[in-house]
Structure 1
């Protein structure tokens, strides 16, 4: 069996909008998915990319199989209503909308954090933070078929030493699902008036595509004394206000009675920095039983891009791309894919093919990194492309990623002018000295094409 893939890190600046298709050679069966859809740059940037993407759906292809958001930061979700509105207009359904569970203290934290920028953000964003399920069902219940809320994962004590893809139960389907259904949490209730959308709270969620590609979703919240202290302040405030809903509404309005939460947030951010994020959903996407001697990956743009504004680097920009051209068929349209010769270990996949998306996970925290590594221990040898956490922020970066995942090709998404401080110059230096990597910004997307043989 041969599976093709075309993927794109869209050029939206600081944020992430990643889209990809897996499809068979006969082009009749296709799995389409998106990871995050947001930017902190001008909203017109992502609007243009979203509309171009929506136009790739034909009359016989009216489904997006998975739409995943890693966390509720503006630069990762600002394009969600634009995307779903475009889908609604074109009659495109989202089969599975996947997001992590956000408890009450986390949503209170996010409201305090983002309320300071209320004049720059859409009002819908605060409704989304207060109750993401209610917002999605109320606004786009006729577009979304299922919502999976991924709960925090248990510590991984499994002794399984082989990756077994979830079984595909329906012969007419190409997707298998494995998950543990859990009870509805008390502080995030299913919305009223479901409009045909089902909501499932799950743990240990995995998908298999064509019984050969596995998606493995995971997250654990950050812990620590300051975080626990903030959560206690929130719990005390809930008791005072009578309910979580009342507290969140007061935070949305910026009521004076919530100043103690603002103070607690300031204490937290002064110690962890403004890059603090305690919840991010990660996903690995790997090939199982790959015949790597025939499989390969082609990149259309390959850059080392140390930015001189980030630290004591010489002014240099080395570009090695447009060296060769490969013409392939995709959606019955011939597309030119500009490729670059890479070291053979990066071009020829051998027995290794996989992606690892980390959102804004704070992997600089050793305890969290150890849990993260434990969960993905069987995937370490298979990861080929790493999405560098939090746009290269130092609070999320761990150089052990390079060693533990065997020097993966790395992708950083950030603003071209680096005005947010991302990527951090130490992260740039670690990447530059150890792995091939690429910077995706508002002017440069990053596309790649893959052929996998099984």
Structure 2
């Protein structure tokens, strides 16, 4: 993670982001810096890998700790969805004061879907399903992450409208959410956007828990400089419930109880904890008959400038021995998690949500490790990215990334960057915007 040397230009905002080589999983870290700030805003999007790649995952967590220093503040931890290969490194990342996490953001997901996600993990990666933290996370995500003592937990659901950040009324503080803010030495962030923040923990105790719409975002800016800002904006791609209902019906049969009784008992944390701890075989059996074309809730994320904040932009990308330098205003990053975007309506909804920011995107992480069943050509034609990282490694006969997706990326003139468990495949991006 050695620092790169840049041309000497007056900087306004700089963003360093690193895609960690953890094999089949996802682990991304980023920093936003300003010229007069003593510290940088630090965020992480997912931290996990299949158990087969636990050595690589743990190696990269230790490297990040060494890079930032144990006890450093992690301003924002974003968890995209409930699969273990995106979340099973979180405990090692932040437990025992290794990082002091300030705010955690994750999508609101119903119990049915959480159980189905656990069943998927139990089927594909049984060792990861045996983690106490992962079981607790499935049973009660808020309680599970509260042990890390965050100041805020933000539960994100679908909102009515798009991402803020282009000089619209959405740049104002979220209704009822004026207290959702934070700061470091020289920088500040505020939750802005349209909609209402619904606080679930009205007392002064920690953590502060709030439901927010994905029409809100974190606006990060240098102290007293509201205009030159960076945006961390979510989008929730929601699951389709038909398979969930089939899964619950199958599970009721496995448990030899009626569906209505099972659904009623899902509100009991002790019942669900017993399911994931002692009856994983029944969950797997219920999953096997409906695992074909599943769609899970996934939180996508934009990280980029709020608007056209300056006239000079640069982007440098390092992948193995290769270094690419670009001098255009496309310096933003969009991650799609495991969103299933193959259907035009779902892909169009994501593009509409981020429409004011698409022209700034240089990097688009491909959905679900580059799987063809989740990909849509519109993602590329609308964003015109220069780089398409895909985090994948050899597992069974999974087409990650699929040959058709690889061809699509090449046909659009973009560069496919495959990140696996080899340290040499790390992707580091350093982008900045300033004035000549």
For the aligned pair, the TM-score class normalised by the smaller chain equals 0.7 to 0.9
What are the superposed Cα offsets for residues 387-411 of structure 1, whole Å, 9 maximum, x if unpaired?
1111101121111101111244211
- How do residues 362-381 of structure 1 correspond to structure 2 at under 5 angstroms? 362-381=340-359
**Shift in Å at residue 12 of structure 1?**
1.0
Using structure 2 for the length normalisation, give the TM-score: 0.80
- Greater Cα shift, 290-299 or 170-179: 170-179
Structure-2 separation of matches of 1:29 and 1:183: 29
2:192 equivalent in structure 1 = 178
Structure-1 separation of matches of 2:411 and 2:357: 24
Structure-2 separation of matches of 1:155 and 1:242: 29
**Shift in Å at residue 231 of structure 1?**
5.7
2:54 equivalent in structure 1 = 43
Structure-1 separation of matches of 2:114 and 2:204: 22
Across the aligned residues of Structure 1 and Structure 2, the Cα RMSD in angstroms comes to 3.2
Given the superposition, is the C-alpha separation of residues 54 and 407 from structure 1 closer, same or farther in structure 2, using an over 3 Å criterion? closer
**Shift in Å at residue 173 of structure 1?**
5.0
Using structure 1 for the length normalisation, give the TM-score: 0.77
2:152 equivalent in structure 1 = 146
Structure-1 separation of matches of 2:297 and 2:335: 14
What are the superposed Cα offsets for residues 300-329 of structure 1, whole Å, 9 maximum, x if unpaired?
127xxxxxxxxxxxxxxxxxx45xxxxxxx
**Shift in Å at residue 5 of structure 1?**
1.9
Q: Tell me the SS of whatever aligns to 1:71.
A: coil
Structure-2 separation of matches of 1:207 and 1:404: 24
Q: Is the 8 A contact 1:292 1:349 kept in 2?
A: no
Structure-2 separation of matches of 1:54 and 1:110: 29
Q: Is the 8 A contact 1:293 1:348 kept in 2?
A: no
Q: Tell me the SS of whatever aligns to 2:290.
A: helix
**Shift in Å at residue 123 of structure 1?**
3.2
- How do residues 159-198 of structure 1 correspond to structure 2 at under 5 angstroms? 162-163=167-168, 165-166=171-172, 173-178=187-192, 180-182=196-198, 196-198=206-208
Structure-2 separation of matches of 1:403 and 1:300: 24
- How do residues 382-421 of structure 1 correspond to structure 2 at under 5 angstroms? 382-415=360-393, 420-421=398-399
Structure-2 separation of matches of 1:52 and 1:26: 27
User: How many pairs does the alignment contain?
Assistant: 393
1:297 equivalent in structure 2 = 315
Gaps of 5+ in 2: 1-10, 253-258
- How do residues 58-73 of structure 1 correspond to structure 2 at under 5 angstroms? 62-73=72-83
1:306 equivalent in structure 2 = none
**Shift in Å at residue 161 of structure 1?**
7.3
Given the superposition, is the C-alpha separation of residues 158 and 93 from structure 1 closer, same or farther in structure 2, using an over 3 Å criterion? closer
What are the superposed Cα offsets for residues 9-31 of structure 1, whole Å, 9 maximum, x if unpaired?
11111111111111123451411
Q: Tell me the SS of whatever aligns to 2:206.
A: coil
1:30 equivalent in structure 2 = 40
